Amino acid sequence: MKIHPAYEMLRPDKNFPNVWCPGCGHGIVQGAIIRAVQKLGLDRDEMAMVSGIGCSSRMPVYCDFNSLHTAHGRAIAFATGVKLHNPKLHVIVITGDGDALAIGGNHFIHAARRNVEMTVVLMNNMIYGMTGGQYSPTTPIGKRASTAPYGTAERDFDPCSLAKAAGAVFAARGTVYNAAELEKLITQALAKKGFALVEAVSPCPTLYGRLNREGNAVKMMQWQKENTVNVKAAEKLPPEKVRGKIVTGVFHDAETPGYTEIYDRVIAKARGA
């Protein structure tokens, strides 16, 4: 029998119930993360997977890494603690648009500002999935949610621009439709020494799709396929051709020393080295 390549990274013997709905994008993101880790040959004992609360944040339960499933919004703060205690660890943060940008927005911008070395995979389904489809800071203006039955009146965040402006070294966006590209972006992010964000656009057919009449999971995937433009192509297009589309690719890639590196320098200096 052929064993799935991701199998060794999962916890199949634990029988944790799968909470993800059929057609949810979050599982595809998990696959992309596992392949990226395998491709880089990272040692799992040298890694930690930290998440908050949400459908997306369930991932560390299923992955066989050192993991912390914490409180809603606090994943990045916990991850900062993990990283500072053991800077050798590769820290991956699994979070959602609500977890990272609403209740945890403060941690997001400050970890980016400090450039704490971690890879943040933000599953953006533009809604609070777990609690029943309330609008989030990434719900596009005018879209429906259970708290906005006639559409939201609030403007949305662009997580990549936010991360860049706050000081991150890497910001990229992929979709679950293009899982190969997503995997590549996560691989790049994992290699960075600083705060690296990968926003994974992940459909929530159960709530966002239903409330916005976007059809079933297949239709939502189809939509991603037909409405994604790579950032390089987007730069050459007139703005009206890009509006309403998902722009993917690397938006920001810089080399700035990470927080633990600078911290070590301060220690060395204080010791008179």
Partner 1 sequence: MSKLVSAQTGNEAMAYAMKQVNPDVVAAYPITPATEIVQIFAQYVADGDVKTEFVAVESEHSAMSACIGSAAAGARTMTGTSSQGLALMYEMCYIAAGLRLPIVMADVNRALSAPINIHCDHSDTMGMRDAGWIHLFSENAQEAYDNMIQAVRIAEHADVQLPTLVTTDGFIISHGMENVEHLADERVQKFIGEYQPQYSILNVGKPITVGALNLQDYYFEHRRALADAQAAALPVIKQIGEEFGKESGRAYGLVEGYQLDDAEYAVVALGSTCGTAKVVIDSLRAKGEKAGLLKIRSFRPFPKDEVVQALKKVKFAAVLDRSDTLGGYGGPVFTEVRSALYGEASKPPVAGFIYGLGGREIDMEMIEELFRLMKSGEVKPDSVQYLGVRE
Ligand X SMILES: Cc1ncc(C[n+]2csc(CCOP(=O)(O)OP(=O)(O)O)c2C)c(N)n1
Give the C-alpha separation, 273 to 261, whole Å. 15
Stretch that binds Mg ion, among 61-69, 79-87, 90-98, 157-165 (CB under 5 A): 90-98
With CB under 5 to 8 Å by kind, the binding choice for 216 among ligand SF4, ligand X, Mg ion, none is none
Binding partner at 99 among ligand SF4, ligand X, partner 1, none, C-beta below 5 to 8 Å by kind? ligand X
Pairing of strands 228-230, 246-253: parallel
Total chain residues near ligand X (CB under 6 A): 17
Starting at the edge strand found earlier in the chain, the sheet holding 246-253 runs: 66-69, 47-51, 90-96, 118-124, 195-201, 170-175, 246-253, 228-230
For residue 50, give the DSSP letter: E
In the complex, what is the shortest distance from the CB of residue 89 to ligand SF4, in angstroms, rounded to a whole number? 28
CA distance 174 to 169: 17
- Choose the contact partner of 147 out of ligand SF4, Mg ion, partner 1, none; CB within 5 to 8 A by kind: partner 1
Q: Which residues bind partner 1 (CB under 8 A)?
A: 53, 69, 71-73, 102-103, 105, 128, 130-132, 134-135, 137, 146-150
Question: Coil, helix or strand for 9?
Answer: helix
| Rounded Cα–Cα distance for residues 264 and 100 (Å) | 28
Residue with tokens 């940008």: 101
Do residues 124 and 157 lie in contact, with contact meaning Cβ atoms separated by under 8 Å?
no
CB of 147 to ligand X, least distance (A): 11
C-alpha to C-alpha distance for 9 and 18, rounded to whole angstroms = 16
Bridge partners, 123 (sequence order): 96, 200
Length of the chain: 273
96: contact with Mg ion by CB under 5 A: yes
Touching ligand X, residues 122-181 (CB under 6 A): 123, 125, 127-131, 136
Among ligand X, Mg ion, ligand SF4, none, the one that 28 touches (CB under a kind-dependent 5 to 8 A) is none
| 26 is an interface residue for ligand SF4 by CB under 6 A | yes
Residue from the set 29, 49, 54, 196 that interacts with ligand X by CB under 6 A: 54
97 binds Mg ion (CB under 5 A): yes
Provide CB contacts within 8 A for 212, sequence distance 6+: 143, 144
Q: Which does 97 bind (CB under 5 to 8 A by kind): partner 1, ligand SF4, Mg ion, none?
A: Mg ion
Taking contact as CB under 6 A, which single stretch among the options 81-89, 163-171, 189-197, 200-208 is the one that binds ligand SF4?
Answer: 200-208
In terms of CB distance, is 9 or 94 closer to Mg ion? 94
Residues 74 and 88: their CA atoms lie apart, in Å, by 21
Cα–Cα distance between 228 and 132 in angstroms, integer?
A: 27
CA angle 155/116/195 to nearest 5° reads: 50
Nearer to partner 1, 73 or 194 (CB): 73
User: Which of residues 30, 119, 125, 228 is near Mg ion by CB under 5 A?
Assistant: 125
Contacts with ligand X, residue ranges (CB under 6 A): 53-56, 72, 96-99, 123, 125, 127-131, 136
Contacts with ligand SF4, residue ranges (CB under 6 A): 20-21, 24, 26, 55, 125, 129-130, 204-207
